[in-house]
Amino acid sequence: MLVKQKILLTLAFLVAGVSFTYAQIGGRYAFSFLEKPISARVAALGGNAAAINDNDLNIGFVNPSLITAEMDKSFALNYVHWFEGTNYGSVQFANDFEKVGSFMATLQYMDYGRIDYADETGALGGTFGAYDMALTIGWGRKLDSVFSIGAAGKLIYSAYDTYNSFGLAVDVAGTYQSRSGWTMSLVGRNIGSQLTAYTGSTTDPLPFTLQAIISKRLDHVPFRFSIIYDHIEKWDLTYIDPANPSGGVDPVTGEAKDQEGFAKFGDQLMRHFIVGGEFYIGKNLILRGGYNYRRRQEGKIEDKLGMVGFSWGIGVRISKFRINYSRSSYNLVGSPNYFTLAFDLDSFAKK
For 282-318, the pLDDT digits (tens) are: 889 999 999 999 999 888 877 777 889 999 999 999 9
What pLDDT is attached to residue 332? 78
Average pLDDT over residues 190-211: 92
Residue 19 has pLDDT above 50, yes or no: no
What pLDDT is attached to residue 16? 45
82 lies in which domain range? 2-237+272-348
* DSSP sequence for 38-82: -SHHHHHTTSS-----S--HHHHHH-GGG--GGGTTEEEEEEEE-
Number of separate domains in the chain: 1
127 is a domain residue: yes
289 is a domain residue: yes
pLDDT tens digits along 64-93: 999 999 999 999 999 999 877 789 999 999
What pLDDT is attached to residue 174? 97
pTM: 0.86
Q: For position 297, which CATH number holds?
A: 2.40.160.40
Of 12 and 271, more confident: 271
What pLDDT is attached to residue 323? 97
313 is a domain residue: yes
266 is a domain residue: no
pLDDT tens digits along 246-271: 566 666 665 666 677 888 899 999 99
What pLDDT is attached to residue 188? 97
Average pLDDT over residues 155-170: 94
| CB atoms inside a 10 Å sphere around CB 277 | 19
288 is a domain residue: yes
- List the alpha helices (DSSP H) in 211-292: 261-270
Q: Is 293 exposed, middle or buried (0-12, 13-18, 19+ CB in 10 A)?
A: middle
Alpha carbon distance 190, 175 (integer Å) = 18
pLDDT tens digits along 336-347: 999 999 999 888
Residue 9 has pLDDT above 60, yes or no: no
pLDDT tens digits along 33-43: 999 999 999 99
249 is a domain residue: no
333 is a domain residue: yes
What pLDDT is attached to residue 257? 67
What pLDDT is attached to residue 272? 96
- Highest mean pLDDT: which range of 50-54, 112-116, 256-260: 50-54
Sign of the dihedral defined by the CA atoms of residues 257, 258, 264, 270, in that order: positive
Min mean pLDDT across 16-25, 116-125, 335-344 is at: 16-25
Query: 58 near 305, Cβ under 8 Å?
Result: no
57 is a domain residue: yes
Alpha carbon distance 131, 151 (integer Å) = 26
Alpha carbon distance 108, 104 (integer Å) = 13
- Highest mean pLDDT: which range of 3-7, 24-28, 45-49: 45-49
- The pLDDT mean for the chain works out to 87
